[in-house]
Amino acid sequence: MDTSVQLYDSAATGWQRGLYDDIQATFRAPVVNWIFRTLTANEPAFTRYLWAQLKPVFETRLCGEACVAYRTALREPFDDLPRYRARELGLDPWAWRELHGQLRTFDTVAPRLAVTFEFVYRSLHDEPVGVDPRTDEAATAPLPEWLEGDRGLAPTMGAFDDFDPAVEETVRSVQAFHGFDEGLPSIYRCLVQWPDAFARMWTDLEPHLDSSAFGTACAAAREVTVDLVESTPYVPQLSPDALERAGFEADTVTALRDLFDDFARGPVETVLPAVVLVAPTVGAGFDGP
């Protein structure tokens, strides 16, 4: 699988256009994340199959509850996160609107991506999925229309590995913290568009992220996703045996397992929780009902 190849939103046509629109509508955010763009470019048949298996889960109130609980688990230990106004970050009203709206989008999708990675990782490793299904109404009730109805703004990003010299030190610090040898995850490529704001925000947030409290919060958030995966009444058929029965080759399954291992248990594992702490610093965090 060539992870440097993606089908971008602007290039999607036909069923791929429909799929991308469906992902955005279901995730309630105007973005199709890297994992789906890369899978669509490399394994289009699997992407269709994957989405058909996962979509029913995201449409339940149970998943909505988990998304709210995921953010709560991460934010509760940190009642002293910085809170910025536009002038404190040196941003004009247009830039502030973009920063706020784009971080709102990242905050909306972060728990859903965590759920996606946990479902696929556990399935591909034959670990328990849907072993203790909930039987209450919320388990199968539809996701309320009002929940996270504010879709935010479509993210724009700086280059993967070509940065303003003013933020080189910040970039190196972010890479060292998350364990990336090169480039930046999408959330930071978004922030790097506003170099001074990015440097200020990272300087203020790094002590919170580089703390035992953050590790504890990440573990609590992962328990939320594990609980959802184990209690869902809708069980995605994504195990190696299920994929073989669906016609996927063993080499494809191995490549998919390697890819999702990196997301579910690699450096990315700390990125999604970091998103949930960054967003409320500019008032873009969803706090639930």
Residue 96 has pLDDT above 60, yes or no: yes
What is the pLDDT, as a whole number, of residue 288?
54
What is the pLDDT, as a whole number, of residue 289?
46
Q: What is the mean pLDDT of the chain?
A: 95
Provide the residue type at 244 as one letter: E
pLDDT tens-place string over residues 18-37: 999 999 999 999 999 999 99
Tell me the Cα Rg of the chain: 19
pTM to 2 decimals? 0.96
pLDDT tens-place string over residues 126-151: 999 999 999 999 999 999 988 887 67
Residue 55 has pLDDT above 90, yes or no: yes
Instruction: Give the DSSP letter string of 204-222.
Output: HHHHHHSSHHHHHHHHHHH
Q: Extract the tokens encoding 244.
A: 């073989």
> If you average pLDDT over residues 155-181, what whole number do you get?
92
Q: What percent of the chain is predicted at pLDDT more than 90?
A: 89
Return the number of other C-beta atoms located less than 10 Å from residue 86's C-beta. 17
Q: Determine the Cα–Cα distance for residues 129 and 186; give it in Å rounded to an integer.
A: 29
Q: Give the torsion through C-alpha atoms of 32, 274, 123, 182, to 10 deg.
A: 70
What is the pLDDT, as a whole number, of residue 159?
83
Q: How far is CA 39 from the centre of its chain?
A: 15
Q: Extract the tokens encoding 224.
A: 């939320």
Return the number of other C-beta atoms located less than 10 Å from residue 13's C-beta. 9
pLDDT tens-place string over residues 210-233: 999 999 999 999 999 999 999 999
Q: Extract the tokens encoding 17.
A: 């256009």
pLDDT tens-place string over residues 145-163: 888 876 799 999 998 788 8
What is the pLDDT, as a whole number, of residue 267?
83
Return the number of other C-beta atoms located less than 10 Å from residue 180's C-beta. 17
What is the pLDDT, as a whole number, of residue 72?
97
Angle between helices 212-231 and 61-75 (to 10 degrees): 170
Which H or E element spans position 112? Answer: helix 93-124
Residues linked to residue 77 through DSSP beta bridges, in sequence order: none
What single DSSP character describes residue 60? B
